Structure 1
């Protein structure tokens, strides 16, 4: 049996962050108006064309890394199309090692802080949304770098669908569950079985290292915020 030696997450934070509620409620109250990056805006319109031409339900695999999870999930959901997204070109370039026989997915390099906002502004609604082993940012000072502490958190919720998250740091998912509760959404946080199909390289490494793994699920169907209808969609970039 292969054994890995991935280190368990260490943090100077015990339990939920003391500023979690204030941070989440602030972001739920108002839109995130940071200007969009040109590269993600251009990619969004290419993805929009692909999604609309296909017409099947849409799945996001956010923070997909090398995209092994995207290939696995595309095979799991042949009734849908899936977009795997990551900010790292270096990770995405490794995908050919993990590619499987599935023609209903593609990978894209984007800033999710922008892509989620653009998708919401255009009225996209997901059937499923996967966030598998996002960077935990375990230092207490890193709260706003975690997705539930980020200004993009409300947009993740407004994309709707069946949300599934996994992590080897239970505090991350406990905080996310609290963020959902503040938004009026219930969730279920459970341990993952000790054996099973590994969706990502990180999941495989953590499991082989003997680390306990956790899963959070929530139904975001129909989630809206009062200011959602007023979100503007910027036009495509024009060639100079």
Structure 2
């Protein structure tokens, strides 16, 4: 493949997963009790220290930020916000880059642990971005998708404007449908013009001719 070519998502699903509604309802109505790992507690201590050092500044979360390109772009777009990028990959986070803006911070952490701790500590976000998460396109992997995972209630408890971007329409449709279970009105639209890609994935997918989708909702 060339530098501007990437594989399209292939799946044995042709539409929204048959079990999505039941899965979202199950996790909505039960508490997620899995204790966080020690390294996740340390990461959360780091996050709380960052928040304390920027107290009073609205927070934007860039979940699964990868190399931090999107965190930089968001920090430049919202200079009056603290933008925190979280990713579990040490290699991606430590990749050589230009210095980040002062209002951008990168933290290594497992979001499956971080989300419930944030929600339990009453974090409130101004905006939350989930940019091109792993789609886990096999039907058997439904619960690996954020909207069908047990931490989805914690994600929504963080409030603010939430935006998902993906190159797989079914993922966007499922995410929008899951939001309706929580009485969140979501808009789903195709991203037709990408003049300033937020992530390397968005740049690559756009260059490869993929159709890109965006879901935006205001959490209640």
Give the TM interval when normalised to the shorter protein.
over 0.9
Q: Deviations over 1:130-174 (max 9, x none)?
A: 000000000000100000110000000000011111000010010
Q: What is the correspondence of 1:73-112 to structure 2 with a 5 Å cutoff?
A: 73-94=74-95, 96-97=96-97, 99=98, 101-112=100-111
2:9 corresponding residue in structure 1: 9
TM-superposed CA distance for 1:193, in Å, is: 2.1
- Alignment pair present for 1:38 and 2:44: no
Conserved? CA contact 1:71–1:100, under 8 Å: no
TM-superposed CA distance for 1:9, in Å, is: 0.5
2:62 corresponding residue in structure 1: 61
Q: What is the correspondence of 1:191-230 to structure 2 with a 5 Å cutoff?
A: 191-220=190-219, 223=220
Q: Is the alpha carbon distance of 1:32 and 1:167 closer, same or farther for their aligned partners in structure 2, counting shifts above 3 Å?
A: same
Conserved? CA contact 1:127–1:161, under 8 Å: yes
TM-score, reference length from structure 1: 0.88
Q: Deviations over 1:27-86 (max 9, x none)?
A: 000110001111111111121122122121111000111110001101111111111011
TM-superposed CA distance for 1:101, in Å, is: 4.9
Q: Partners in 2 of 1:194 and 1:45 — Cα distance?
A: 39
1:29 corresponding residue in structure 2: 29
TM-superposed CA distance for 1:3, in Å, is: 6.5
Q: Secondary structure at the match of 2:162?
A: strand
Q: Secondary structure at the match of 1:83?
A: strand
Q: Is the alpha carbon distance of 1:216 and 1:155 closer, same or farther for their aligned partners in structure 2, counting shifts above 3 Å?
A: same
Q: Partners in 2 of 1:101 and 1:153 — Cα distance?
A: 29
TM-score, reference length from structure 2: 0.96
Structure 1 runs (4+) greater than 3 angstroms displaced = none
Q: Partners in 1 of 2:11 and 2:205 — Cα distance?
A: 17
Q: What is the correspondence of 1:76-225 to structure 2 with a 5 Å cutoff?
A: 76-94=77-95, 96-97=96-97, 99=98, 101-220=100-219, 223=220
In structure 2, the gaps of 5 or more residues are: none
Q: Is the alpha carbon distance of 1:57 and 1:141 closer, same or farther for their aligned partners in structure 2, counting shifts above 3 Å?
A: same
Conserved? CA contact 1:194–1:212, under 8 Å: no
Give the superposed CA RMSD: 1.3
Q: Secondary structure at the match of 1:64?
A: coil
Q: Partners in 2 of 1:195 and 1:21 — Cα distance?
A: 32
* Higher alpha-carbon deviation: 3-12 or 64-73: 3-12
Tell me which structure has the larger Cα radius of gyration.
Answer: 1
